[in-house]
């Protein structure tokens, strides 16, 4: 009978069970990564906190700088979306950018054309942001809430944005959003 791994809880985090088995870089089973609600964390931070063994961090200063840049890009994405700031989008979207939203896939030009149109919502806000830096790629997961202008309904969506560091600069290469239950 396999032994269940012990999960350590730090004073500021809680553990949420997952429906998958976590493995380390060599493929060995390990305890699930703790989930900390309402706090931005990185893949690097979680793995060193919960799996401190066999982890090598070559440049934590660079990772901290990258995290700050990615946090700001996430804020810029939301602000640009709410206020039709196509110019700002064009500064951090990669030319090969692809977006997927319920029922539609858009390339860079189509996305910018769409974002130039009046937004059908207000009060766009981000919640539960989780930034995972994986070498030169970063995933930003989160939840967005907003109010639909047509009927005043409060809505939410889950999103994942993918950034890649190209020639020393983080650019968004993909964005995907889904409405829960869709």
- Please give the pLDDT value at position 64: 92
Q: What does the pLDDT look like over 3-12, one tens digit per residue? A: 444 433 334 4
Considering the entire predicted model, what is its pTM?
Answer: 0.67
- Please give the pLDDT value at position 9: 37
Task: Map the chain to HEC letters.
Answer: CCCCCCCCCCCCCECCCCCCCEECCCCCEECCCCECCCCCCCHHHHHHHHCCCCCCCCCHHHHHHHHHHHHHHHHHHHHHHHCCCHHHHHHHEEEEEEEEECCEEEEHHHHHHHHCCCCCEEEEEEEEEEEEEECCEEEEEEEEEEEECCCCCEEEEEEEEEEEEECCEEEEEEEEEECCCC
Q: What does the pLDDT look like over 63-121, one tens digit per residue? A: 899 999 999 999 999 999 999 999 999 999 999 999 999 899 999 999 999 999 998 99
């Amino acid at each position: 009978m396999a032994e269940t791994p012990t999960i350590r809880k730090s004073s500021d985090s809680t553990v949420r069970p997952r429906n998958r088995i976590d493995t380390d870089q060599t493929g060995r089973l390990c305890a699930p990564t703790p989930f900390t609600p309402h706090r931005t964390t990185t893949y690097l931070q979680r793995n060193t906190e919960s799996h401190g063994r066999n982890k090598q961090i070559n440049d934590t200063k660079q990772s901290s700088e990258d995290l700050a840049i990615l946090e700001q890009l996430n804020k810029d994405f939301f602000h640009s979306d709410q206020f039709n700031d196509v110019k700002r989008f064009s500064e951090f979207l990669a030319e090969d950018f692809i977006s997927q939203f319920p029922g539609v896939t858009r390339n860079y030009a189509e996305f910018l054309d769409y974002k130039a149109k009046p937004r059908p919502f207000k009060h766009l806000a981000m919640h539960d942001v989780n930034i995972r830096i994986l070498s030169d790629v970063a995933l930003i997961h989160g939840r967005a809430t907003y109010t639909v202008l047509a009927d005043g309904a409060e809505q939410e969506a889950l999103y994942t944005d993918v950034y890649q560091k190209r020639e020393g600069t983080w650019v968004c290469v993909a964005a995907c959003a889904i409405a829960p239950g869709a």
